Amino acid sequence: MTSRELVRRTLSFDAPPRVPRQLWLLPWACDRYPEELRAIQARFPDDIVSAPAFHEALLPVHGDPYRPGTFVDEWGCTFLNVQAGVIGEVKTPLLKSWDAHEMVRFPEERLSVQVDEVNQFCRRTDRFVLAGACPRPFERLQFLRGTENLLMDLIDQPAGLHAFLARLHEFYMRELELWARTDVDALSFMDDWGGQQAMLISPQLWRTFFKPLYRDYVAIAHQSGKAAFMHSDGYILNILPDLVEIGLDALNCQVFCMDVALLGDRFGGKLTFWGELDRQQILPGGSRAAVIAAAQRLRSAFWRPGGFIAQCEFGPGARPENVHAFFEAWETLV
Amino acid sequence: MDAYDALRAAVIEGDDLTARAATEELLSAGHDAQALIRGALTPAMDEVGRRFEAGEFFLPEVLVAARAMKAAQELIQPLLARSKTPPRGRVVLGTVAGDLHDIGKNLVAAMLCSAGFAITDLGVDVSPDRFVAAVGAARPQIVGLSALLTTTMPAMQQTIEALEEQNLRADVKVMVGGAPLTGVFAARIGADGYAPTAAAAVNLARELTP
């Protein structure tokens, strides 16, 4: 069975013969553990890959986002970084107020995707392919305006914010519609909605401002016969029923910030949990036994059979032996 | 609703214009600046903290409340400085070396300020040496260390060790906070306390400075 078929059967709870795998990598891990990483990737190859975007136009970015210094992304947002291998933070946002939103230059270069090239990529792999675009409306607003400013703007609701969000959504819709015309298997989008113990904004505010956007993204995916994948960090229990309702197929979230068993009881079988193994305690500091126990908890909560993708992030602080142990544990669990 | 109630309500609702106007009204009527803090600002931010802990408020509501509180404090602070009223305590605060995240730290600063603490906010990516220098200069009762990344958590221990090396550790209580932290970690590095939220940080600071 190909990786593509394996993932599809997992998404439809159709008893796949093993759990699909995906390792998320930050350059931190590549820099620090190149040999261990090669061994992990050789033993546990990914079943899911992202398509390169094959943009015809060059994205107007400057610098390396994962190196100390500054990086300017294609929207003109400047990220300051002091730690190699991870991405930095926007400290000087572009917009002092939403009145100036018309000065934001939308990166039309992102719409210059060479569809034939993407399709050729999809044909040449038997792995499940995610689109090479990942709309992040909440985070884009933060990058442009600054997180604290944006959070207060959501209460103040200046007219310019609504106007800009409408423009942003239209741009993301165009980008996803473009990818929906390719042969990728799924579209994906992301935003970090949770803090450690609660959502960053109220579920009501989220439903008013952002749920409609995600509903549109999922609809684009489904109208073209593709799956919809989403990532969010943090505690997001409050909006899980909403994500199920809009038809999300796979969710990557920090299940260990929440109650894994409760998540399984309430949402297992309704969408696929795309990981993850806890990267705050277990991956950096857990024993092998703790990793295996965590994998068992995940299996017990989410595997129907199907409904789970063994995913973890090899990023700052994570021990390579724990990444290895996680994937190895799944070989005996399913 | 009396003027104190109006100020409290304005802060809780995050209405900075009304908070400022209510403060002006109270000060013009001859009310004492300290009384405004004790009778309106501190209880208002305590209530904001309570609602945050209870899941009734989220970060946006807390941030606009802090903004309203600051609008009132801008009027009160010069009066306090003139009257040489001592603060509830002094806190040196910062995000540790290698870490640029500051939303949590900023919230802690705002809520401690509303509780009557004088804050020296060192910002982000603060080296142990800078903490040591600030402790030497400001002579705080508390040092607050924040980190969001697992890789920057060791800088908390390094900061505590730097305070020990400079013989400053015994003079201050160290409290720590940040998403990946736990009470166990805090105890292991020799901190005096761990606060999982900004509201908890205020309670901890009160406990540490009886």
CB contact under 8 A, A198 and B58: yes
Residue A261 or residue B79, greater confidence: A261
pTM: 0.94
Chain A: residue whose CA lies nearest to B182: A281
- Which residues of chain B lie closer than 8 angstroms to A148, CB-CB? 63, 103, 106
CB contact under 8 A, A317 and B59: no
Which pLDDT score, from 0 to 100, does residue A86 have?
87
Which pLDDT score, from 0 to 100, does residue A121 have?
98
Mean pLDDT of all residues in A69-86: 95
Comparing CA positions, the residue from A114, A199, A88, A118 lying closest to residue A154 is A199
Q: Give the count of Cβ contacts less than 8 A between chain A and B.
A: 69
Which pLDDT score, from 0 to 100, does residue A311 have?
98
The shortest CB-CB distance from A152 to any of B67, B149, B196 is to B67
| Contact (Cβ atoms closer than 8 angstroms) between residue B124 and residue B102 | yes
Residue of A142, A151, A153, A258 best to disrupt the B interface, most CBs of B under 10 A: A151
ipTM given for this complex: 0.94
Q: What tokens appear for A144 in the block?
A: 């442009």
Burial class of residue A63 in the structure, from the number of CB atoms within 10 Å of its CB (0-12 exposed, 13-18 middle, 19+ buried): middle
Domain ranges of chain B: 3-83, 89-208
| Contact (Cβ atoms closer than 8 angstroms) between residue A154 and residue A117 | no
Q: Mean pLDDT over all residues of chain A?
A: 97
pLDDT digits (tens, 9 = 90+) for B143-187: 999 999 998 999 999 999 999 999 999 999 999 999 999 999 999
Domain ranges of chain A: 3-333
Which pLDDT score, from 0 to 100, does residue B84 have?
82
CB contact under 8 A, B103 and A148: yes
Q: Do domains B3-83 and B89-208 have the same CATH topology?
A: no
Amino acid making up residue B2: D
Q: How far is A182 from chain B (nearest CA, A)?
A: 37
- Residue appearing with tokens 């390719």: A182
CB contact under 8 A, B150 and A89: no
pLDDT at B1 over 80: no
Q: What tokens appear for B187 in the block?
A: 């105890």
Chain B residues bordering chain A (beta-carbon distance below 8 Å) = 14, 55, 57-61, 63-64, 67, 98-101, 103, 106, 125, 149-152, 179-180, 182, 196-197
Domain covering A3-333: architecture: Alpha-Beta Barrel (3.20)
CB contact under 8 A, A317 and B149: yes
pLDDT digits (tens, 9 = 90+) for A234-287: 999 999 999 999 999 999 999 999 999 999 999 999 999 999 999 999 999 999
Q: Which of residues 40-99 of A touch B (CB under 8 A)?
A: 80-83, 86, 88-89, 91
Q: With bands split at pLDDT 50, 70 and 90, how would you rate the model's confidence at A10? A: very high
**Radius of gyration of chain A from its Cα atoms, rounded to whole angstroms:** 20
Which pLDDT score, from 0 to 100, does residue B2 have?
87
From CA A195, how far away is CA A244, in angstroms rounded?
21
CB contact under 8 A, A201 and B197: no
% chain A with pLDDT above 90: 98
From CA B142, how far away is CA B125, in angstroms rounded?
19
Q: With bands split at pLDDT 50, 70 and 90, how would you rate the model's confidence at B207? A: very high
From CA A144, how far away is CA A233, in angstroms rounded?
20
Which pLDDT score, from 0 to 100, does residue B86 have?
87
The shortest CB-CB distance from B151 to any of A156, A199, A317 is to A317
pLDDT at A209 over 90: yes
CATH number, domain B89-208, options 3.40.50.280, 1.10.10.60, 3.40.50.1100, 3.30.390.50: 3.40.50.280
Chain A: residue whose CA lies nearest to B65: A152
Question: Would you call A106 helix, strand, or coil by DSSP?
Answer: coil
Q: How far is A130 from chain B (nearest CA, A)?
A: 28
* CATH 3.40.50.300 holds for B3-83: no
Q: How far is A224 from chain B (nearest CA, A)?
A: 37
- Residue appearing with tokens 């015309």: A181
pLDDT digits (tens, 9 = 90+) for A34-53: 999 999 999 999 999 999 99
pLDDT digits (tens, 9 = 90+) for A171-196: 999 999 999 999 999 999 999 999 99
Q: How far is A89 from chain B (nearest CA, A)?
A: 7
Comparing CA positions, the residue from B24, B29, B25, B18 lying closest to residue B67 is B18
Q: Which of residues 280-319 of A touch B (CB under 8 A)?
A: 280-281, 284, 316-317
Which pLDDT score, from 0 to 100, does residue B83 have?
83
From CA A267, how far away is CA A246, in angstroms rounded?
14
Chain B: residue whose CA lies nearest to A199: B58
Q: How far is A106 from chain B (nearest CA, A)?
A: 27
CB of A154 within 8 Å of a chain B CB? The answer is yes
Q: How far is B169 from chain A (nearest CA, A)?
A: 27
Mean pLDDT of all residues in A104-123: 98
Q: With bands split at pLDDT 50, 70 and 90, how would you rate the model's confidence at B54? A: very high
Which pLDDT score, from 0 to 100, does residue A279 have?
95
Q: What tokens appear for A35 in the block?
A: 């040999």
Q: Mean pLDDT over all residues of chain B?
A: 95
pLDDT at B210 over 90: no
Residue A161 or residue B34, greater confidence: A161
- Which residues of chain A lie closer than 8 angstroms to B106, CB-CB? 148
